[in-house]
A and B are shown apart, each in its own frame.
Chain A
Amino acid sequence: DIQMTQSPSSLSASVGDRVTITCRANQYISNYLNWYQQKAGKAPKLLIYSVSSLRSGVPSRFSGSGSGTDFTLTISSLQPEDFATYYCQQSYSTPGFGQGTRLEIK
């Protein structure tokens, strides 16, 4: 199975900050990389698919980039509603998730 590793595991930031979360696959996954946001006790929500395509309705402060094995999720200016846990997920083979990055208020 393909292993997905996110860094950092947790992150403290302030409203207005620019934040970047990294996701690395242990083998090539082309552009089959998605990002999700999950708030406590709720189901995850799809933010970005195919590395960099923003899902309809997702604010433009979210962006994704990368290729092959290394990918990033960037939030350009944190808003209060963005404090949550973020997961990357590959669909190149049997779908698998990263371990998550918890984004907390500083």
Chain B
Amino acid sequence: QVLLIQSGAEVKKPGASVKVSCKASGYTFTDYYIYWVRQAPGHGLEWMGWINPQDGGIKYAQNFRGRVTMTRDTSLSTAYMELSGLRSDDTALYFCVRYGDYFSFDVWGPGTVITVSS
């Protein structure tokens, strides 16, 4: 069974950083890009960036450049997303997603809730 397993919910203070993990199972981790998508409460889906697990190549969405860092550990089949300089409007559900066959997001993690509050 193909799964993406994400780390648990976090509560952070403004200005702090958070690092979310995403462990892949049931497929070859290096065969598919991993995207990060977030969803603020009551809002739609916002693409943050992607990482190529094969070579570590990355691309970040304009809105997050300078604050987001995506990495991976192929020995653990795990991708990571770190967001710094947290603000209250970063409070959201963060998903890791496999960019699969047919140019679609075919496997989603369950999401990690990040709450930013003083």
Contacts and interface: CB of A to CB of B under 8 A. Distances in A.
Interface of A: 32, 34, 36, 41-46, 49-50, 53, 55, 87, 89, 91, 94-100
Contact of A100 (B44, B93, B110, B111): B44
Interface residues of B, number: 19
A99 B44 contact: yes
B49 to A, nearest CB: 10
Nearest to A32: B103
Contacts of A34: 102-105
A87 B105 CA distance: 12
Dominant secondary structure at the A interface = loop
A66 to B, nearest CB: 16
B45 interface: yes
Contact of B44 (A41, A45, A50, A87): A87
By Cβ-Cβ distance, the 9 closest A-B pairs, closest first, are A91-B103, A43-B108, A49-B104, A49-B102, A97-B45, A34-B104, A100-B44, A99-B44, A46-B106
B95 interface: yes
B32 interface: no
Interface of B: 35, 44-47, 59, 61, 93, 95, 99, 102-106, 108-111
Given A87-B44, A100-B44, A36 B105 contact: yes
Contacts of B45: 44, 87, 89, 97, 100
Given A87-B44, A95-B47, A96-B47, A43 B104 contact: no
A34 B95 CA distance: 18
17 contacts: A34-B102, A42-B111, A43-B110, A44-B108, A49-B103, A49-B104, A50-B104, A55-B106, A91-B104, A94-B59, A94-B61, A95-B35, A95-B47, A97-B44, A98-B44, A99-B44, A100-B44
